[in-house]
Structure 1
Amino acid sequence: MRLLTASFALALPLALSSCGSDEGSSTSAGTPPPSEGGCPTTPVDVVVSVDQWGDIVSQVGGACADVTTVVASSSVDPHDFEPTPADAAMFDGAQLVVINGGHYDEWAAKLAASSAPDAPVINAVELSGHEGEAGHDHEGEAGHSHEGEEGHDHAGEGNPHVWYNPMVVNEVAEAVTAHLKELAPDAADYLDERHGEFENVMKPYNDAIATIRSGAQGRTYAATESVFDDMANALGMQNRTPEGYQAASANEAEPSPADLDAFLRLLGDRGVDVLIYNTQTEGSVPEQIRAAAEQAGVPVVDVTETVPPNTESFQTWQVGQLDALAEALGVPA
């Protein structure tokens, strides 16, 4: 995340404020119904860097995956996270590691290499096909304001928020299942069943995307940052965020007065159908942008970068935001 925060313009069915639980906890909220019986073999020790992926890993692994999520707190920016010796110890003995990749959680890749060198690593950004391009926007998590900090040149790099890419979500789930079956071959049938259950639980998410896409093709949006861009692209929406503002946002820099003015004029002229607003970021610039949208009557759709606390599952988090977007666009959800 980065320079942005606010209150809701469209109430979501979830309390969206950030990640799921305390750091270092095992994420299992919202898992599919348990498969018949427990794991038929010794569970696989899995370490996940961030909770955007932790719940998905728990869902597909079930009783055959002992999942530990390192960063599961909205107060921590995964990019800037500095692991303690206790955090590093979580990787000791890990049989499988799941990271986001794309410079979002480089610390996790380093800890996996040093503390679990024999463990396969699933890198979500690599699965997206953008490894080597993607760079974190350095957007601060909830409660983090990066105004005035020295910027970093990340303009033109890929978007690391790939948990908002429906294809990558599916690919990560498939990769986790495949690796777990290799590590626990006696649990292959159980894991296939878990994956089938996961696909069933994903149906409302996939149905919402398909339904909204049919009514949102060509609709326009602007965003205070890039977190939701992959999902908007999957929905066939057009991004009209001023390029200068996007570049400043990617570089963790204040937009120039001209770039900010271009954004405010875009909203004032109702040049987009919706404004996508990350509620987990703070600063006067996004607050100005939100106020301009509200004054002009442009609907504001609140999203978060990380999983809100007390959220049932990854799917309910995502579907809640999709429902809010559908309402803002006036299309079926």
Structure 2
Amino acid sequence: MSLSAFFNSTRGTAAKRVLAACVAIAALSGTAACGSAANTATSSTSSDSKISVIASINQWGSVARDLGGNKVDVTSIMTNTNVEAHEYEPTSSDIAKFTSAKVVVVNGADYDPWASKAASSTKATLVNAAETDGKKSGDNPHVWFSAAVRSSAADAITKAYEKAMPEQKSYFAGLNTEWKAKEQKLEATIKQSSSKLKGTNYAATESVAWYLADDLGMNDVTPSGYAQASANESEPSPADIKEYQEALATGNIKMLVFNSQEADSVTDQITSAAKKNNVPIVNLTEQMPKQYTDLLDWMNALVTSFANSIE
């Protein structure tokens, strides 16, 4: 069974993150009155020229920036690939950034519930990327890897901008067209690469790139015991790890997808077994690496890495 099959399991950490966000919001509300006049003046000044946009993660922040051009001011909260995204707890400073936002872009699918919670206390228009394509809590949350979600989220962001600045509707429509053209080039590259990768069996240390691999026509054959433990955010048993190592030795797994953002002693054992058995490893992270400022450029690089890993 694939990693993606287990994402309907309850995530205990999600509740903790929501609780942490609530505490931060409560702390913020206690101090808001003292600075309300200053905050109002700042918001009014910035809104006259640009739409204030907050994105929970940098990959959606890049899309929001591309679609808004010089009419938006975008701030991304999570930008560090050294942070475990599923464990992220926002600070009071993070939450405060939402107060002046006119548009908030979150990932959704229980990936960043703290951001949705923070946005709910404001008048900002909320764009939930996962929900734009019908993804919900319990589904694989790494939706920026999905061509369908990227496209539907882009349209939702453009609509939010048109609502905030209706006199610039044609400007935003033009940027949406430009972005869609670049996305279509990426999808053409994915289609071309799928002619080489379609039907390829792969396994993963975490189902981060499942949507991209699916778009490429690849088969997720991650051993079920390890897959279930990973989806439940629990430690795989010694038997699970052994099963994975043995699977890598059979030759059935043609590629290992490794989320280096959440490397630990367990993944060290898996990657070591892959190297021992000459299984190609594709390294990636959840957050967009610093060398990229555009989600689509990052996706193009990953598609190339997938294609080049297979001889």
Which residue number corresponds to residue 131 of structure 1?
136
Unaligned 5+ residue runs, structure 2?
1-47
Cα pair distance change 1:162/1:83, threshold 3 Å: same
Q: State whether structure 2 residue 228 is matched by structure 1 residue 221.
A: no
Could you say which structure has the greater relative contact order, defined with CA pairs below 8 angstroms and 6 or more residues apart? 1
What do residues 55-106 of structure 1 show as CA deviations (whole Å, max 9, x unaligned)?
0110011111111112222233343333222222211121111101122111
- Tell me which residue corresponds to 1:88: 95
1:104-183 to 2 correspondences below 5 Å: 104-114=111-121, 116=122, 118-133=123-138, 158-183=139-164
Q: Note the 1:41-56 alignment, pairs <5 A.
A: 42-56=49-63
Q: How far apart are the structure 2 equivalents of 1:128 and 1:189?
A: 24
Aligned partners of 2:65 and 2:166: how far apart in 1? 18
Give the aligned partner of residue 173 of structure 2. 192
Amino acid at match of 1:264: Q
> Structure 1 residues 288 and 76, CA, compared in 2 at 3 Å: closer, same or farther?
closer
Deviation (angstroms), 1:328 = 1.3
1:311 aligned to 2:292? Answer: yes
Does structure 1 conserve the Cα–Cα contact (< 8 Å) formed by 2:199 and 2:217?
Answer: yes
Distance 1:75 1:223 in 2: 19
For the residue of structure 1 that corresponds to 2:307, the secondary structure is: helix
Match of 2:71 among 38, 41, 64: 64
**Structure 1 residue identity aligned to 2:262:** T
Partners of 1:128 and 1:162 within 8 A in 2: no
Q: Secondary structure at the match of 1:202?
A: helix
Q: CA deviation at 1:203?
A: 4.1
- Give 5+ residue unaligned stretches, structure 1: 1-40, 134-157
- Which of 229, 233, 238 aligns to 1:257? It is 238
The one-letter code matched in structure 2 to 1:129 is G
| Aligned residue number for residue 248 of structure 2 | 267
The CA distance in 1 between the partners of 2:177 and 2:112, in whole Å, is 29
1:139 aligns with none
SS in 2 for 1:318: helix
3-state SS in 2 of match to 1:79: helix
Cα distance in structure 2, aligned partners of 1:79 and 1:219? 29
Where is the helix percentage greater, Structure 1 or Structure 2?
2
Task: Indicate if the aligned counterparts of 2:260 and 2:283 stay in contact, CA closer than 8 A.
Answer: yes
Equivalent pair of 2:81/2:285 in contact (CA under 8 Å): no
Give the AA of the match of 2:133.
S
Asked whether 1:73 is paired with 2:80, we answer: yes
What residue is the counterpart of 1:286 in the other structure? 267
Name the counterpart of 1:24.
none
Cα RMSD, aligned residues only: 1.6
Aligned to 1:233, which of 214, 220, 226? 214
Describe the SS at the equivalent of 2:49. coil
- Listed one character per residue, the Cα deviations across residues 161-214 of structure 1 (whole Å, up to 9, x for unaligned) are 001111101111111011111221111111111112212333442222111122
TM-score, normalization: structure 2? 0.81
CA distance in 1 between counterparts of 2:293 and 2:96 reads 28
**2:300 aligned with 1:322:** no
* Counterparts of 2:221 and 2:67, CA distance in 1: 37
Q: Deviations over 1:132-164 (max 9, x none)?
A: 32xxxxxxxxxxxxxxxxxxxxxxxx2100011
Aligned mates of 2:201, 2:194 — CA distance in 1: 12
Letter in 2 for 1:252: E
- Determine helix, strand or coil for the equivalent of 1:319: helix
- In 2, the alpha carbon distance for the partners of 1:65 and 1:159 equals 30
CA gap of 1:80–1:280, structure 2 versus 1, over 3 A, is: closer
How many matched pairs?
264
Residues 67 and 302 of structure 1, relative CA distance in 2, 3 Å threshold: same
Q: Judge conservation of contact 2:255–2:282 (CA < 8 Å) in 1.
A: yes
What do residues 247-288 of structure 1 show as CA deviations (whole Å, max 9, x unaligned)? Answer: 101122221222111111111011111111112222121111
